[in-house]
Amino acid sequence: MVEIRFHGRGGQGAVTSAELLAKAAIAEGKYAQAFPSFGAERRGAPVQAFTRISDEPIKVRIGIYEPDIVVVLDPTLLRTIPVLEGLKENGILVLNSRWDIKEAREKVGWQGKLCVVNATDIALEELGVPITNVVMLGALLKVRNDLAKIEDVEKEIAERFPKIKDKEIKAFRRAFEEAVVDG
């Protein structure tokens, strides 16, 4: 089982990211679940979302405290939230950042596998808004392409965002191509 924890802010789409990934995995015959963790937060407040993917039925339904992967949609959270907390020693950090991979490693202090993409700029250029959910899925699949097939994620994106599907899919693909992976 692969456990993923998404960190974002209300309105950025962390919950949507978790759901799209789970739906794509289910479409491939895998077992998956996605769920948020937040209270009565307002737009802009920190939120978490979780996805589990497995080849076997998933019987656990609690928050993910020791994730295999952490995805950070908003780099400003690095200053206020311990996003690396519980990340397994051999885990993966997928980070939205303008830093290059070396600078990100130094500033964040993560020595494991690291994937960096400037998701905010991609989202602004392709969508006109800094909503990084679909963009970060592209980076996530670059570093772990066994979670779901690109085509299945694109199908879920198209179903979720029918009016802007072409823009969303272009942003998703750009992130897949532009993400840099180290470790």
Taking only the tens place, the pLDDT of each residue in 10-33 is 888 899 999 999 999 999 999 999
| Lookup: tokens for 156 | 């879920």
Supply the pLDDT for residue 117.
98
Name residue 180's beta-bridge partners. 116
The rounded distance, in Å, linking the Cα atoms of 165 and 157 is 7
What tens digit of pLDDT does each residue of 83-127 get? 999 999 999 999 999 999 999 999 999 999 999 999 999 999 999
pLDDT at 42: 65
Q: Tokens 């339904």 sit at which residue?
A: 61
pLDDT at 2 over 90: yes
Q: Is the pLDDT of residue 168 over 70?
A: yes
CA 173 from chain centre, in angstroms, equals 14
pLDDT digits (tens, 9 = 90+) for 121-161: 999 999 999 999 999 999 999 999 999 999 999 999 999 99
Q: What angle do CA 129, 136, 77 make, to 5 degrees?
A: 80
User: What pLDDT is attached to residue 33?
Assistant: 96
Domain annotation for the chain: domains and CATH numbers:
2-182 (3.40.920.10)
Query: Does residue 43 register a pLDDT over 90?
Result: no
